[in-house]
Amino acid sequence: MTVTAPSALPAPRCIRFSARDGLPLSAAEWWDQAGAAHGRTPLLCLPGICRTAMDYQALAARHMGERRVVALDYPGHGESARADDPARYAPENIIHDVLDAMAALHVHRAVVVGTSFGGLMAMAIAAARPAALAAVVLNDIGPRIEAEGREFIRDFVARDPALATLDDAADYLRRTLPPLGIADTAGWRRLAELTYARGGDGRWHPRWDTRLAEVILGTDPPEFWPYFGALAHVPLLLVWGQASQILSASTVQRMRQMHPDMALLSLPGVGHVPILDEPDTAAQLDAFLRTAVP
């Protein structure tokens, strides 16, 4: 299935490459090479567990004139292939995929924007390859994942509602998801387009392999404090939805104690996971990205 960009946003270049086991993977790239400043550190965007590279279209549109923007589709997501064996989606395999993708795409050092699961991948990169990180944005994720939120996400990821229309999909998300600060119908339709794709049966299905729910979310996760500690050497921004069921206030407080220089963008009334394209959020995020590292 191919994701097309709305006319107001630039379509990415789709880059195909293979994982070490031969599984076909995909990345989206935005780069205005004529206008972008050469030598600026690229942005590497890592989506959430039921999200895809196309979530970063609007962010890319704002930055592609300044630097290269690359976003990944993990195995079983978006334009990347589904695995025959769902065990292939184990997190330890996906971090290898991310590191291999960075090598294949010549993203040897990057500013990483990681949403939820993508933020855990950023922490893993910090531990495995610290020189690869120039700065990090963690979008509503920390070293401790609250059980209530994890159960909700597992149920959401595992379900294929097979919705009849895009409007039905938008209404389903509006009723099912926590408050995200989306104010209008157009915003929910846009989120539905990024979440579901129309299948051969005419219905709208998830843009991810629902089998990954039990592989990635089927057991109680460990806490990731040592991995978070590995981020101490880079500029760091935490985007926190104060109504998040994944990231608690106590975890945020401990993160700030461990990383006193961490910038915090706190969003009252917003749950998991904040939409990074809302105007106020985008303005503060962009300011960090433009000043944290050249």
pLDDT of residue 216: 85
The model's pLDDT over 208-234, given as tens digits with 9 standing for 90+, comes to: 999 999 898 777 888 999 999 999 999
CA distance 16 to 27: 7
The whole-number pLDDT of residue 33 equals: 74
Element (H, E) at 288: helix 279-292
Token code pair at residue 208:
């991810």
Distance CA 125, CA 75 (A): 18
157 SS3 class: helix
Label each residue of 82-122 as H, E or C: CCCCHHHHCHHHHHHHHHHHHHHCCCCCEEEEEECHHHHHH
Question: What pLDDT, on a 0 to 100 scale, did the predictor assign at position 7?
Answer: 47
Give the model's pLDDT for residue 203. 98
Q: In angstroms, rounded to a whole number, what is the distance separating the alpha carbons of residues 1 and 245?
A: 31
What gap in Å lies between CA 248 and CA 252, rounded to an integer? 6
Q: In this predicted structure, what is the pLDDT of residue 294?
A: 73
Looking at residue 6, its pLDDT comes to 47
- What pTM was estimated for this model as a whole? 0.95
Closest CA to 120 of 86, 151, 145, 149: 145
Closest CA to 54 of 9, 99, 91: 9
Is it true that domain 13-148+222-292 has CATH number 3.40.50.1820? Answer: yes
Which residue numbers in the chain have pLDDT < 70?
A: 1-7, 34-38
Cα separation, 76 vs 175, whole angstroms = 26
